């Protein structure tokens, strides 16, 4: 026995309130039944609309003021609904749009998450490097630097040309600006 699907109906003839009832479907028609009203929509003209609030609206284009709705998505699996070309096309189109919208949203969420994670990682690494660099004693840094300069002089790889030194100093200026004030003596 077909128990139907829980549904509601809006129609100006029954007032501004939603009339609760059940929808029954056969091969030729969709019928809404309640204690107050009985309405029918022929399957050959039935239109299906999907709302954001998860409602499925069953509409008669001849009587647009009549709005039958349900939240029971099993109604779309009913054999008569599956046989209706119009309903199948509307369902496929709507579900296709929903899936595309869902895929786009998921992609955007993923991109935003990647940007946030990259930013957090970059900030963390920067903070960690600064913390480690701050712990290096200045005397040790100067000693190591002087040893490297002495090696370069011994190998003949140290630049003595004042023009090249000036160019190198100009290139290094933005990097030196970000160093702490007590470490800018190069």
Give the model's pLDDT for residue 22: 94
Give the model's pLDDT for residue 1: 45
Give the strand pairing for 38-42 and 47-50. Answer: unpaired
CA distance 108 to 105: 5
Give the model's pLDDT for residue 186: 59
Structure tokens at 149: 């300069």
pTM: 0.49
Residue 180, Cβ density class (10 Å: 0-12 exposed, 13-18 middle, ≥19 buried): exposed
Please give the DSSP secondary-structure letter assigned to residue 71: S
Spatial CA neighbour of 46 closest among 33, 34, 36, 56:
56
Structure tokens at 143: 């000693």
CA distance 38 to 68: 11
Residue ranges of the chain with per-residue pLDDT less than 70: 1-2, 88, 92, 94-95, 97-98, 158, 182-186
* pLDDT tens profile 26-42: 888 999 999 989 999 98
Residue 80, Cβ density class (10 Å: 0-12 exposed, 13-18 middle, ≥19 buried): middle
Give the model's pLDDT for residue 185: 65
Give the model's pLDDT for residue 70: 93
Phi/psi at 49 (5° precision): -125, 145
């Amino acid at each position: 026995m077909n128990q139907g699907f829980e549904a509601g109906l809006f129609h100006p003839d029954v007032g501004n309130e939603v009339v609760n009832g059940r929808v029954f479907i056969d091969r030729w028609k969709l019928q809404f039944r309640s204690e107050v009203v009985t309405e029918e929509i022929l399957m050959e003209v039935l239109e299906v609309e999907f709302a954001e609030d998860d409602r499925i609206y069953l509409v008669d284009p001849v009587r647009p003021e009549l709005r039958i709705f349900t939240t029971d998505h099993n109604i779309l699996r009913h054999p008569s609904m599956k046989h209706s070309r119009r309903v199948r096309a509307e369902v496929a189109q709507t579900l296709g749009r929903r899936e595309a919208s869902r895929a786009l949203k998921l992609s955007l969420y993923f991109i935003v998450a990647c940007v946030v994670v990259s930013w957090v990682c970059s900030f963390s690494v920067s903070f960690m490097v600064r913390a480690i660099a701050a712990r290096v004693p200045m005397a040790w840094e100067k000693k190591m630097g002087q040893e490297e300069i002495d090696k370069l002089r011994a190998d003949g790889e140290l630049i003595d040309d004042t023009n090249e030194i000036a160019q190198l100093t100009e290139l290094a200026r933005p990097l030196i600006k970000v160093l702490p004030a007590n470490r800018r003596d190069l």
